[in-house]
Structure 1
Amino acid sequence: MADNTTSDTEESSFAPELERQISEIQANSMLSNGPVHDLDEHQKIWLVIGICLHNIITPILRKYVESVMTSLYTSLVKSDQINTQTYPGHLRGHPHQGVHIYYLNYDCINNNKALGRQNHLYDYKVQNAVDLSKLFLLSNMTHYNGFDDTCDASVLLGLVKNVDGFHPGVKATAACIRSDIRNPWAHCDFTQWNSTRYSLSFRLMENLIKNLGLSSSDKNQTLDQLIMWKTNGNM
């Protein structure tokens, strides 16, 4: 596939275990009961950013990505009959950043990978928006069942990066969140998490929420949550 980097492969292997740790730490040290204790400053910053990224940003991003991918799927059913396509007339790529083509990865749907390199035997029928989304990712990132709890921040940010059709402002901010927050967070070098990255992380997350086209009430409620964590999280 085109336009993939080694970071796509690396990032996918870290999140599940770290997200489990985030959930355990959060359960024991919720801010509603006061500041997080027994952690140094860098660890607290890492923890708070992780909670905001996975518990506030990711659920909202799931809904946004689902909406865009569903619209794209409907469009490709009409234009390319992607739901009934067969070899060799299947859709091979999709425009990317206006000038490039993103080559679609059919290995990860319909148990095609089991066929090895026998691409002519693949089942190229794309039955829903979830399967369509997997065509834009490396195979090791496609172990999700829907735009639900099985679909993590790594997948969502990767889709926003790889799929044309997302709002340019969302793509730009998501790219920064991916490179400056999510990937460093997953590698868990606590020394990187200082007050400068703390401020940058919240600024990027707030900008993303403002660009998602949420209703005023949803946007304000989410921004209020982020402000609460930003204000109290590092105390």
Structure 2
Amino acid sequence: MKLAVIGGTGLIGSQVVTDLNAAGHEAVPHSQSTGIDVISGQGLDEAVAGADVIVNLTNSPTFDEASLAFFQTSMDNLLAAGREGGVRHFVILSIVGADQVPELDYYRAKVLQEDILTAGPIPYSIVRATQFMEFIDAILSWTADGDTVRLPATPIQPIASKDVAAAVAAVAAGTPLGGIRNIAGPEVFSLDELGRLTLSHKSDSRTVVTDPAAGMFAVVKGDVLTDKDAHLAPTRYADWLA
């Protein structure tokens, strides 16, 4: 099976390409560095020519309202190229609970991406993942101030990027789901607790203060960032830290 992995040189994409090729498929990575542009459409027809599957792992360069236009244009261009090229399966990676947080521009943009795909002409699969373990440091940096990191107690179920990639590769190599597969890490933490674990492991002396108004995830209510019915990945956070 031949797969065009758009965004195939990034954190998830590069691992998806490796996993698919190791399984005997022909997965070809495409990105700006290989000469394609999902906004202008440059190189897309050539990138998907002869592909059975498109795996779209591109991401908006911003998390603000401009991300809506990015996903609208990129999906329109990729679906058009895929339809013209006879692609039989289109896969995207989204976020668990994205449809439950309309207050966040980026989450609304990911829901828009899903909606464009489901209304499109190509059989599809959507993989929704919880927050990546690799992004925890960035989350801490958003609310760091001197010796203090302020975090809400929002429940979070972090997943390792290698487990995300494995799940995306498995879905891409299978028949179209015509729906959503949710994936998550095996453990649920409160975000402030996760911050303390992370700083302790790194012997970082900063103090985590529980602040329900701090950071991007302060607007997330309840257990939106977790999913009790998700397919659980094997990697535990402590093992990933180690």
With structure 1 as the length reference, what TM-score do the two structures score? 0.25
With structure 2 as the length reference, what TM-score do the two structures score? 0.24
The structure whose residues are more often helix, as a share, is: 1
